[in-house]
Amino acid sequence: MAMSLAFHIIFAVVGIAMPLMMVIAEWKWLRTRDEIYLTLAKQWAKGTAILFAVGAVSGTVLSFELGLLWPEFMRYAGPIIGMPFSLEGFAFFLEAIFLGIYLYGWKRVSPRAHWLAGIVVAFSGMLSGVFVVTANAWMNTPAGFEMVNGKPVNIQPIAAMLNPAALQQVIHMTIAAYAAVGFAVAAIHAFMLRRDARNPFHRRAFGIAFSLGALMALLQPLSGDFLARQVFRNQPAKLAAMEGLFKTETRAPLHLGGWPDEKTGTMKGDIEIPSGLSLLVYHKPEGEIKGLEAFPRDQWPPVAVVHLSFQIMVGCGMLMMLAGFIGGWLAWRKNSPCDRKWFLWLTMLCGPLGFVAIETGWTVTEVGRQPWIIYGIMRTADAVTPMPRLVVPFIAFTVLYIFLAFVVIFLLKRQVFQSPKNFGEPERKKA
């Protein structure tokens, strides 16, 4: 399941962000009638098509796996968190329908209708992401029901969907999706620009993708702060694990890097910023933050994994922010970022980081919730299927996914790593 999710999350994120860029490119074409933008929109649409199809089938696998692997969890939680999943179903429906129109309808509908279809794809893609994340947020901060004799009663699906963590997680994840995909696509075009610096196709592509990625990377710390303070309120043990904080302190330090040792309850090899954590949480240097010692030992999440993942996520985010900042500054100084070799290298370096940040961030939220599958209510071990030899389907799906990933990379390489030279009529006239 974790494997499927880790795999699906990448495609889902691409399905959220790629259509937006494709629509921006097409909009530029409609505005300027610059054929390069049309070529770009079509090129990106191809990439979207491949990734969306794989995302769609891997998403189907997930909807079944919920039951195949966690029958107890679903029997318990299905009715409570069904609302976002039902709505997600419809959002996904709309995305699939209008993507079909977008991909195959270039000649069948008017340019405006075609562009609007793209808008629907981008919007419903974002919505389906939003709904799924609210369901995940519910696992972190369950709401919308009451427990009577170990059974959930008085279920209010809407209240469950709008649980305390929903808004923060949704914002954080959506921005992350746009930032990661923006940077990844910018990196691909930066790679091409390194060899073919004057190609207007890649320059324009880089412009759109990098602007989106940079803007989102610069916004992300705000949403991160918003989310972290929510975690502090609702899941203090998770926050303590994220920050590697073992002792409860009123001037809690911020640990950068380092390896938390669960046995001795100390941090090793970290850089400590006094009062840093209290400052971040309370926005002032003093304020009590519970350390792990405040929780029973059997309710600790695996501290090292959570802390390390969190540090990696933040590090990636910082680098992307830095790149975004430099890029913005270069553009403001009228130096096109495309002409700086070192900057292209920097962008290429940042390309995979967004996805690393997403995977590690997801690890933080999932592993940080352990040992609970529904925070404070159901333990993960109680939810798993009684089916023996789970390792067999696990290996089968893993092999399948690795195979798919290879094919996708291979195809994208051929489809997307191209330098189109002819852009319809206007370009040829110039030549």
Partner 1 sequence: MTLAELIGFVMIVSLVLYALGAGADFGGGVWDLFASGPRAKRQRELIAHAIGPIWEANHVWLILVIVLLFVAFPPAFAAISVALHIPLAVMLVGIVLRGSAFVFRSYDIQTDDVQRRWSRLFAVGSIVAPIMLGVCVGAIAAGNLRVHAETGTVETNFISQWLGAFPFAIGLWTLGLFAFLAAVYLTNETEEEELREDFRRRALAAGLAVALLALVSFVLAETGAPLIRRGLSKEWWSIPFQIATGLISVSAMGAVWRRRYRLARVLAMAQIAFIIGGWGLAQFPLLIGPDLTFTNSAAPDSVLRALVKALVAGAVLLFPSLWYLYRIFKNPVGR
Contacts with partner 1 by CB under 8 A lie at: 46, 49-50, 52-54, 56-61, 63-64, 66-68, 71-72, 74-76, 78-80, 82-83, 85-90, 92-94, 96-101, 103-105, 108-109, 120, 153-158, 385-388, 393, 396-397, 400, 404, 407, 411, 414-415
Q: Regarding beta strands 259-261 and 372-374, do their DSSP bridges make them parallel or antiparallel, or are they unpaired?
A: unpaired
* Minimum CB distance to partner 1 smaller for 96 or for 219: 96
Question: CA 310, CA 372: separation in Å to the nearest integer?
Answer: 19
Report, in Å, the least distance between residue 64 CB and partner 1. Answer: 6
Report, in Å, the least distance between residue 26 CB and partner 1. Answer: 18
Report, in Å, the least distance between residue 67 CB and partner 1. Answer: 3
* Minimum CB distance to partner 1 smaller for 69 or for 320: 69
* Minimum CB distance to partner 1 smaller for 19 or for 368: 19
Element (H, E) at 372: strand 372-374
Question: CA 77, CA 381: separation in Å to the nearest integer?
Answer: 15
CA 298 to the chain's CA centroid: 30
* Minimum CB distance to partner 1 smaller for 116 or for 256: 116
- Letter for the amino acid at 194? R
Mapped onto helix, strand or coil, the DSSP state of residue 267 is strand
Cβ pair 423, 39 in contact under 8 A: yes
* Minimum CB distance to partner 1 smaller for 6 or for 56: 56
Report, in Å, the least distance between residue 59 CB and partner 1. Answer: 8
Report, in Å, the least distance between residue 311 CB and partner 1. Answer: 34
* Minimum CB distance to partner 1 smaller for 84 or for 260: 84
Element counts in the chain: helices (H) and strands (E): 15, 8
Report, in Å, the least distance between residue 80 CB and partner 1. Answer: 8
**Side-chain half-sphere CA neighbours of 25 within 13 A:** 27
* Minimum CB distance to partner 1 smaller for 197 or for 392: 392
Report, in Å, the least distance between residue 321 CB and partner 1. Answer: 34
Of 217, 100, 74, 92, the closest CA to residue 152 belongs to 74
Task: Return the exposure string of 98-116: e unless at least 16 CB atoms fall within 10 Å of the residue's CB, then b.
Answer: bbebbbeeeeeeeeeebbb
Element (H, E) at 255: strand 254-256
